[in-house]
Amino acid sequence: MNYIDSLVDDLIKVRNRVKRKERKNTLLRLILQAKSEGCAKCGSLYYLTFHHLDSGSKRFNVSEMVARNATITQLMLEMGKCKILCRQCHDAAHR
Ligand SMILES: [Zn+2]
């Protein structure tokens, strides 16, 4: 690989890193936005989780999707299947 090729290669790597980071920030912002109203059942703002309304349609654990580098579309789709519940109401929903 010549000098120019390796420079371009480095630039592409940096650009991809920046894009990954931007996407990660967008995912985090979308999750925060969804949680901003609090628990759908009791209104609590603490220990908020994503509860899948139909566990059969669950493909991903929403909170793990950021680390797994999911796309924005994948996150939106998965969040659309959920409602926000605090840990206590979430536990109760599964009992
Ligand atoms: Zn609650």
* pLDDT (tens digit per residue) in 58-80: 999 998 999 998 999 999 999 99
* pLDDT at residue 43, rounded to an integer: 97
CA of 46 to the centre of ligand 1 (A): 8
> Where do the domains of the chain lie?
3-93
Backbone angles phi, psi at 48, to 5 degrees: -80, 140
Q: Ligand 1 centre from 10 Cα, in Å?
A: 48
How far away, in angstroms, is 28 Cα from ligand 1 center?
Answer: 21
Please return the burial class of 77, using the count of CB atoms within 10 Å of its CB with bins 0-12, 13-18 and 19+: middle
**What is the 19 CA–ligand 1 centroid distance (Å)?**
35
This prediction has a pTM of 0.84
Give 39 Cα–ligand 1 centroid separation in angstroms. 5
